Amino acid sequence: METWWLIFTVAGVYLLAAISPGPNFVVVINNALAHSRKTGLYTAAGVACGSTLHTLMGFVGISALVVQSVWLFQLVKVGGGVYLIVLGLQTLWSSRRAIELPAVDISQICAPGELTSGRALRTGFITCAVNPKAAVFFLSLFSLMIEPTTPLWAKVTMIIMIALLSFSWYSSVACLFSNDRARVIYLRSKRKINGLFGCLLIALGIKVSLT
Protein backbone atom coordinates (compact mmCIF):
# COMPACT_ATOMS: atom_id res chain seq x y z
CA MET A 1 0.00 0.00 0.00
CA GLU A 2 2.82 2.40 0.89
CA THR A 3 4.53 1.65 -2.43
CA TRP A 4 1.40 2.52 -4.41
CA TRP A 5 1.03 5.71 -2.38
CA LEU A 6 4.61 6.59 -3.34
CA ILE A 7 3.93 5.87 -7.03
CA PHE A 8 0.82 8.06 -7.13
CA THR A 9 2.59 10.84 -5.21
CA VAL A 10 5.45 10.90 -7.72
CA ALA A 11 2.96 10.84 -10.61
CA GLY A 12 0.95 13.68 -9.05
CA VAL A 13 4.00 15.87 -8.50
CA TYR A 14 5.10 15.26 -12.10
CA LEU A 15 1.64 16.15 -13.44
CA LEU A 16 1.67 19.45 -11.54
CA ALA A 17 5.08 20.23 -13.02
CA ALA A 18 3.95 19.28 -16.54
CA ILE A 19 0.87 21.52 -16.34
CA SER A 20 3.06 24.53 -15.54
CA PRO A 21 3.72 26.41 -18.82
CA GLY A 22 7.22 26.00 -20.21
CA PRO A 23 9.10 25.17 -23.43
CA ASN A 24 7.20 21.90 -23.98
CA PHE A 25 3.86 23.67 -23.61
CA VAL A 26 4.79 26.42 -26.06
CA VAL A 27 6.20 24.03 -28.70
CA VAL A 28 3.13 21.75 -28.62
CA ILE A 29 0.71 24.68 -28.95
CA ASN A 30 2.77 26.29 -31.70
CA ASN A 31 2.92 23.11 -33.80
CA ALA A 32 -0.75 22.29 -33.25
CA LEU A 33 -1.86 25.78 -34.27
CA ALA A 34 0.57 26.36 -37.11
CA HIS A 35 0.25 22.93 -38.71
CA SER A 36 -2.37 20.39 -37.66
CA ARG A 37 -3.70 18.24 -34.84
CA LYS A 38 -1.62 15.32 -36.10
CA THR A 39 1.52 17.45 -35.92
CA GLY A 40 0.61 18.55 -32.39
CA LEU A 41 0.06 14.94 -31.31
CA TYR A 42 3.41 13.83 -32.71
CA THR A 43 5.05 16.74 -30.88
CA ALA A 44 3.29 15.63 -27.68
CA ALA A 45 4.58 12.08 -28.25
CA GLY A 46 8.11 13.48 -28.62
CA VAL A 47 7.76 15.37 -25.32
CA ALA A 48 6.55 12.16 -23.66
CA CYS A 49 9.64 10.34 -24.97
CA GLY A 50 11.82 13.13 -23.59
CA SER A 51 10.11 12.88 -20.19
CA THR A 52 10.67 9.12 -20.22
CA LEU A 53 14.36 9.68 -20.96
CA HIS A 54 14.67 12.09 -18.02
CA THR A 55 12.91 9.55 -15.77
CA LEU A 56 15.34 6.80 -16.79
CA MET A 57 18.32 9.13 -16.37
CA GLY A 58 17.09 10.06 -12.91
CA PHE A 59 16.80 6.43 -11.85
CA VAL A 60 20.20 5.31 -13.14
CA GLY A 61 22.02 8.38 -11.81
CA ILE A 62 22.91 10.12 -15.07
CA SER A 63 20.93 13.21 -14.04
CA ALA A 64 23.05 13.46 -10.88
CA LEU A 65 26.21 13.24 -12.99
CA VAL A 66 24.99 16.02 -15.30
CA VAL A 67 23.89 18.32 -12.46
CA GLN A 68 27.06 17.79 -10.40
CA SER A 69 29.40 18.35 -13.35
CA VAL A 70 29.61 22.13 -13.79
CA TRP A 71 30.88 22.10 -17.38
CA LEU A 72 28.47 19.36 -18.50
CA PHE A 73 25.48 21.09 -16.92
CA GLN A 74 26.49 24.39 -18.54
CA LEU A 75 26.86 22.62 -21.88
CA VAL A 76 23.33 21.19 -21.60
CA LYS A 77 21.96 24.59 -20.54
CA VAL A 78 23.58 26.46 -23.43
CA GLY A 79 22.70 23.73 -25.93
CA GLY A 80 19.08 23.66 -24.81
CA GLY A 81 18.86 27.44 -24.83
CA VAL A 82 20.35 27.74 -28.31
CA TYR A 83 17.92 25.11 -29.63
CA LEU A 84 14.92 27.05 -28.28
CA ILE A 85 16.29 30.33 -29.64
CA VAL A 86 16.71 28.77 -33.10
CA LEU A 87 13.13 27.47 -32.97
CA GLY A 88 11.99 30.95 -31.95
CA LEU A 89 13.88 32.60 -34.80
CA GLN A 90 12.39 30.12 -37.28
CA THR A 91 8.92 30.91 -35.95
CA LEU A 92 9.58 34.66 -36.20
CA TRP A 93 10.79 34.21 -39.76
CA SER A 94 7.63 32.28 -40.63
CA SER A 95 5.56 35.14 -39.20
CA ARG A 96 7.09 37.50 -41.77
CA ARG A 97 6.01 35.22 -44.61
CA ALA A 98 2.61 34.35 -43.13
CA ILE A 99 -0.53 35.24 -45.09
CA GLU A 100 -3.51 36.12 -42.89
CA LEU A 101 -7.02 35.21 -44.00
CA PRO A 102 -9.39 37.69 -42.32
CA ALA A 103 -12.52 36.18 -43.88
CA VAL A 104 -11.66 32.52 -43.27
CA ASP A 105 -14.36 30.14 -42.06
CA ILE A 106 -14.19 26.61 -40.71
CA SER A 107 -14.82 24.99 -44.08
CA GLN A 108 -11.69 26.64 -45.51
CA ILE A 109 -9.29 25.10 -43.03
CA CYS A 110 -6.82 22.63 -44.52
CA ALA A 111 -5.78 19.75 -42.30
CA PRO A 112 -2.31 18.93 -43.74
CA GLY A 113 0.58 20.75 -42.12
CA GLU A 114 4.03 21.63 -43.41
CA LEU A 115 5.89 19.74 -40.66
CA THR A 116 6.51 16.03 -41.16
CA SER A 117 5.52 13.60 -38.40
CA GLY A 118 9.16 12.66 -37.82
CA ARG A 119 10.26 16.27 -37.47
CA ALA A 120 7.36 17.05 -35.12
CA LEU A 121 8.30 14.04 -32.96
CA ARG A 122 11.96 15.10 -32.98
CA THR A 123 11.10 18.70 -32.07
CA GLY A 124 9.08 17.61 -29.05
CA PHE A 125 11.73 15.14 -27.93
CA ILE A 126 14.69 17.51 -28.23
CA THR A 127 12.82 20.39 -26.58
CA CYS A 128 12.15 18.21 -23.53
CA ALA A 129 15.42 16.26 -23.52
CA VAL A 130 17.75 19.29 -23.56
CA ASN A 131 15.87 21.16 -20.84
CA PRO A 132 18.28 21.21 -17.87
CA LYS A 133 15.49 22.14 -15.47
CA ALA A 134 13.83 18.81 -16.24
CA ALA A 135 16.99 16.98 -15.18
CA VAL A 136 17.12 18.98 -11.94
CA PHE A 137 13.41 18.36 -11.31
CA PHE A 138 13.63 14.58 -11.68
CA LEU A 139 16.84 14.42 -9.66
CA SER A 140 15.24 16.40 -6.82
CA LEU A 141 12.03 14.38 -6.99
CA PHE A 142 13.73 11.00 -6.91
CA SER A 143 16.24 12.07 -4.25
CA LEU A 144 13.36 12.98 -1.95
CA MET A 145 10.94 10.17 -2.78
CA ILE A 146 12.91 7.12 -3.92
CA GLU A 147 14.91 4.94 -1.54
CA PRO A 148 17.37 2.12 -2.30
CA THR A 149 14.74 -0.31 -1.04
CA THR A 150 12.12 0.86 -3.55
CA PRO A 151 11.23 -2.25 -5.61
CA LEU A 152 12.08 -2.40 -9.30
CA TRP A 153 8.44 -2.94 -10.30
CA ALA A 154 7.54 0.34 -8.61
CA LYS A 155 10.22 2.21 -10.57
CA VAL A 156 9.03 0.65 -13.84
CA THR A 157 5.45 1.62 -12.97
CA MET A 158 6.56 5.22 -12.33
CA ILE A 159 8.32 5.36 -15.70
CA ILE A 160 5.19 4.11 -17.48
CA MET A 161 2.88 6.45 -15.55
CA ILE A 162 5.04 9.50 -16.22
CA ALA A 163 5.17 8.66 -19.93
CA LEU A 164 1.38 8.22 -20.07
CA LEU A 165 0.69 11.37 -18.05
CA SER A 166 3.06 13.37 -20.23
CA PHE A 167 1.45 12.22 -23.46
CA SER A 168 -2.09 12.57 -22.07
CA TRP A 169 -1.53 16.15 -20.94
CA TYR A 170 0.31 17.43 -24.00
CA SER A 171 -1.95 15.58 -26.46
CA SER A 172 -4.93 17.24 -24.73
CA VAL A 173 -3.23 20.60 -25.23
CA ALA A 174 -2.61 19.74 -28.89
CA CYS A 175 -6.25 18.76 -29.43
CA LEU A 176 -7.52 21.88 -27.67
CA PHE A 177 -5.42 24.25 -29.76
CA SER A 178 -5.99 22.46 -33.07
CA ASN A 179 -9.79 22.55 -33.02
CA ASP A 180 -11.60 24.46 -35.75
CA ARG A 181 -12.34 27.56 -33.66
CA ALA A 182 -8.71 27.89 -32.54
CA ARG A 183 -7.50 27.38 -36.12
CA VAL A 184 -9.84 30.11 -37.41
CA ILE A 185 -8.48 32.55 -34.81
CA TYR A 186 -4.94 31.54 -35.73
CA LEU A 187 -5.44 31.98 -39.48
CA ARG A 188 -6.95 35.42 -38.93
CA SER A 189 -3.98 36.59 -36.84
CA LYS A 190 -1.20 34.34 -38.09
CA ARG A 191 1.59 36.92 -38.12
CA LYS A 192 0.88 38.21 -34.63
CA ILE A 193 0.52 34.73 -33.11
CA ASN A 194 3.65 33.38 -34.82
CA GLY A 195 5.52 36.47 -33.69
CA LEU A 196 4.30 35.96 -30.12
CA PHE A 197 5.35 32.30 -30.04
CA GLY A 198 8.68 33.16 -31.64
CA CYS A 199 9.39 35.74 -28.94
CA LEU A 200 8.28 33.31 -26.21
CA LEU A 201 10.62 30.59 -27.47
CA ILE A 202 13.54 33.03 -27.70
CA ALA A 203 12.81 34.33 -24.17
CA LEU A 204 12.63 30.77 -22.84
CA GLY A 205 15.88 29.92 -24.61
CA ILE A 206 17.64 32.89 -23.02
CA LYS A 207 16.18 32.01 -19.61
CA VAL A 208 17.30 28.37 -19.88
CA SER A 209 20.82 29.45 -20.88
CA LEU A 210 21.27 32.02 -18.13
CA THR A 211 19.50 30.52 -15.10
Q: In angstroms, rounded to a whole number, what is the distance separating the alpha carbons of residues 48 and 169?
A: 9
- Give the per-residue pLDDT at 97: 58
Instruction: Evaluate if residue 211 carries a pLDDT over 90.
Output: no
Burial class (CB in 10 A: 0-12, 13-18, 19+), 27: buried
pLDDT tens sequence across 18-76: 988 888 999 999 999 888 899 999 999 999 999 999 998 888 776 666 667 777 777 77
Q: In angstroms, rounded to a whole number, what is the distance separating the alpha carbons of residues 143 and 59?
A: 9
Pair 184, 107: CB distance under 8 Å: no
Pair 23, 204: CB distance under 8 Å: yes
Of the pLDDT bands very low, low, confident and very high (cuts 50, 70, 90), residue 104 is very low
pLDDT over 90 percentage in the chain: 29
Of 56-65, 71-80, 85-94, 169-178, give the range with the top mean pLDDT: 169-178
- Give the per-residue pLDDT at 96: 65
- Give the per-residue pLDDT at 111: 47
Instruction: Evaluate if residue 168 carries a pLDDT over 80.
Output: yes
Instruction: Evaluate if residue 112 carries a pLDDT over 50.
Output: no
| CA end-to-end distance (rounded Å), the chain | 39
Average pLDDT, the chain: 82
Structure-model confidence comparison of residues 46 and 188, the more confident one: 46
